[in-house]
Amino acid sequence: MTPNTMTTDNFSLLDNLAIELPSWAFGNSGTRFKVFGTPGTPRTVEEKIADAATVNRLTGLAPSVALHIPWDRVDDYAALGRFAADQGVALGTINSNTFQDDEYKFGSLTHTDKTVRQKAIDHHLECIEIMGQTGSQDLKIWLADGTNYPGQGDIRGRQDRLAESLATIYQHIGEDQRLVLEYKFFEPAMYMTDVPDWGTSYAQVTALGERAAVCLDTGHHAPGTNIEFIVAQLLRLGKLGSFDFNSRFYADDDLIVGAADPFQLFRIMFEVIRGGGLDADSTVALMLDQCHNVEEKIPGQIRSVLNVQEMTARALLVDTDALTAAQEAGDVLGANGIFMDAFYTDVRPMLAERRAAKGLPADPMRAYAESGYAESIAAVRVGGTQSSWGA
Ligand code: PSV
Ligand code: MN
Ligand code: MN
């Protein structure tokens, strides 16, 4: 039997960890019942970018910010890109939005009315144009399209119209750009969502071509779904484009990553590593998709990127040679033990040392609390309208 010898030999792969932050995570968000404001909440896109840059400065883990159009619409995207660069971050994924206009009540890219479909297509073309100005690589499409009642819509016809609309958008995707299609099994449509699962997303993007891939949001699956299996499968098929990381207890809770189930995050990161998703030439984009309701937003993002780093480090500890030997020998408990040994190892002291060696704060949460940034933005950002999810 091969002995289980955990080492940190693979920790250099941690240098490849780059986690994009969503601009909307810095705005206020809430539930159906109430949106609580937070002092210092950004009023402009620039203020959201400055907050994201703060997370990156303290962690070294978040070098880019995703934008959501029209929430983050500005006159001059090239200037916005320069502003971001001055702050030490880049502009990343452009997220489209076809879920807030009255015309989209019965769908956007799937709508039966051609004029509504065209409006949704044109919005995506605007997003692609913005990508040209920001230097963004990915156009991310998440659709609220779907139906609430059996019989309400023609399931197959909607798929056909979706395919046609996506094909039109895809024609405008540049050589160095990608279209990523996010799936979600419910909400706001309650009976049937037009892109409910990875299989549908995979089928749609495969029909488009090389530069289209699947976006996996960890909160968008039925409870009990084996997400790491989906990760392994999509990586195997070369179609895992990006992640939206968050965690959930019940539905699409959009909570801090790893808060609900760190072991699941560990298992997902193990498959990401196994499938080459952390290699230097990987095209898998890691992003957060969170909404902070009652907690402070900047430390919420810091906690999340640290949790991803922590579970990645634990996954890198798995002695894969010993694991393979145990698996091939049919040593069920041995294999599981090797896996769990890595998961149960506290890597926090090692990561703190690593950060310090790179000139980063050993404890970014503490460094943020002591930095005075929260107090300074609370003092400065008075007046104007605080941004929120949806504005
Ligand atoms: C809605 O479920 C959602 O959370 C999707 O996950 C998108 O990625 C996000 O909103 C932003 O559009
Ligand atoms: Mn998402
Ligand atoms: Mn979501």
C-alpha of residue 99 to centroid of ligand 2, in Å: 13
C-alpha of residue 304 to centroid of ligand 2, in Å: 15
The answer on pLDDT for 57 being more than 90 is: yes
Position 4 confidence tier, pLDDT thresholds 50, 70, 90: confident
Position 386 confidence tier, pLDDT thresholds 50, 70, 90: confident
Q: What is the DSSP letter of 103?
A: G
Nearest ligand (C-alpha, residue 68)? 1
Angle between helices 77-86 and 114-134 (to 10 degrees): 40
| Coil/strand/helix, residue 68 | strand
Tokens representing 307 are 């949790």
Question: Mean pLDDT across the stretch 383-387?
Answer: 83
Residue nearest to atom 2 of ligand 1 (CA): 252
Q: What is the ipTM of this complex?
A: 0.98
Distance of alpha carbon 114 from alpha carbon 103, whole angstroms: 11
Q: Of 26, 94, 289, which is best to mutate to test ligand 1, by the most ligand atoms within 8 angstroms of its C-beta?
A: 289
What pLDDT, in 10s, does the model give residues 8-20?
999 999 999 999 9
| Coil/strand/helix, residue 306 | helix
Residue nearest to atom 3 of ligand 1 (CA): 142
Tokens representing 112 are 């039966």
C-alpha of residue 142 to centroid of ligand 1, in Å: 6
Using an 8 Å Cβ cutoff, are 233 and 227 in contact? Answer: no
Residue nearest to atom 5 of ligand 1 (CA): 142
Angle between helices 45-59 and 77-86 (to 10 degrees): 30
- Closest atom of ligand 1 to 215 CA is 8
Using an 8 Å Cβ cutoff, are 321 and 2 in contact? Answer: yes
Distance of CA 52 to CAs 63, 231, 298, 360, Å? 9, 27, 7, 16
Residue nearest to atom 8 of ligand 1 (CA): 142
Cα-flanking dihedrals φ and ψ of residue 214, to 5°? Answer: -95, 140
The chain-wide mean pLDDT, for the chain, equals 97
What pLDDT, in 10s, does the model give residues 283-308?
999 999 999 999 999 999 999 999 99
Q: Which residues surround ligand 3, an ion (CB under 5 A)?
A: 252
Residue nearest to atom 1 of ligand 1 (CA): 142
- Considering just the CA atoms, what is the radius of gyration of the chain in Å? 21
C-alpha of residue 172 to centroid of ligand 2, in Å: 23
What pLDDT, in 10s, does the model give residues 138-173?
999 999 999 999 999 999 999 999 999 999 999 999
What pLDDT, in 10s, does the model give residues 263-283?
999 999 999 999 999 999 999
Percentage with pLDDT > 90 across the chain: 95
C-alpha of residue 390 to centroid of ligand 1, in Å: 11
**pTM summary value:** 0.97
Contacts (Cβ under 8 Å, ≥6 apart) of 180? 93, 138, 139, 140, 141, 205, 212, 213, 214, 215, 241, 242, 285
**DSSP states of 365-388:** HHHHHHHSHHHHHHHH--SS---B
Percentage with pLDDT > 70 across the chain: 99
Tokens representing 365 are 């949460």
Nearest ligand (C-alpha, residue 98)? 1
Question: Mean pLDDT across the stretch 340-369?
Answer: 98
Position 3 confidence tier, pLDDT thresholds 50, 70, 90: confident
Nearest to 208 by CA among 109, 274, 114: 109
Q: Which amino acid is at 223?
A: P
Determine how many CB atoms are found less than 10 A away from the CB of residue 120. 25
Distance of alpha carbon 377 from alpha carbon 115, whole angstroms: 44
C-alpha of residue 39 to centroid of ligand 2, in Å: 26
C-alpha of residue 31 to centroid of ligand 1, in Å: 14
Question: Mean pLDDT across the stretch 324-331?
Answer: 98
Nearest ligand (C-alpha, residue 243)? 2
C-alpha of residue 217 to centroid of ligand 2, in Å: 5
C-alpha of residue 187 to centroid of ligand 3, in Å: 9
Nearest ligand (C-alpha, residue 217)? 2
Residue nearest to atom 4 of ligand 1 (CA): 289
Pocket of ligand 1 (CB under 6 A): 95, 142, 182, 184, 217, 244, 252, 289
pLDDT on residue 110? 99
- Closest atom of ligand 1 to 291 CA is 4
Using an 8 Å Cβ cutoff, are 268 and 228 in contact? Answer: yes
Q: Of 68, 72, 141, 142, which is best to mutate to test ligand 1, by the most ligand atoms within 8 angstroms of its C-beta?
A: 142
Domains belonging to the chain, first-starting first, are: 17-316+361-380 (3.20.20.150)
Q: Which residues surround ligand 2, an ion (CB under 5 A)?
A: 217, 244, 289
The answer on pLDDT for 1 being more than 70 is: no
